[in-house]
Amino acid sequence: MESETKPQKSSLKPRILIVEDEALIAVMLSDMLVELGYDVAASASHISQAKDFLTAEKVDIALLDVNLGNEKIDTVADLLAERACPFIFTTGYGQAGLPAAHASRSVLQKPFNIGDLDAALRKELGAIKS
């Protein structure tokens, strides 16, 4: 299943980029985010897709899987950090698996539930999400 990278129309809801190579997890995340009232701007399964999307579009926050097959998420995290755009790592490896330059960033430990996701997003977005 190829990941969707088409931008969606603007809304007042926070826009989120999902970077996840496991299709079922990406769909689950998207469903959870919609249920929580967010706008899923795009879902990318490869580093190049995520970077291409971010070249053309802005997001309010991103959810980044640490390992996309044999690709590491470092360059996407670096790009978001340069833009001062918040992001949350999603991983089954905990803090130890994070890129060194971003080791202090928030982590959503897989497997997680909708309550964990909601809490992590609210913490990172602060007052943006009402």
Q: What stretch of H or E contains 71? A: strand 71-72
pLDDT for the residue 1: 38
**Would you list the domain boundaries of the chain?**
15-128
Q: pTM of the entire structure? A: 0.88
pLDDT for the residue 63: 98
DSSP helix/strand/coil, 82? helix
Tens digit of pLDDT for each residue in 52-111? Answer: 999 999 999 999 999 999 999 999 999 999 999 999 999 988 888 899 999 999 999 999
pLDDT for the residue 37: 96
Nearest to 85, CA basis, from 9, 12, 13, 14:
14
Kindly tell me the burial class for residue 126, based on how many C-beta atoms sit within 10 Å of its own C-beta (0-12, 13-18, 19 or more). exposed
Q: Which CATH class is domain 15-128?
A: alpha beta
Interatomic CA distance for residues 78 and 12, integer angstroms: 26
Kindly tell me the burial class for residue 74, based on how many C-beta atoms sit within 10 Å of its own C-beta (0-12, 13-18, 19 or more). middle
Lowest mean pLDDT among 7-11, 34-38, 46-50, 97-101: 7-11
Beta bridge partners of 64: 19, 89
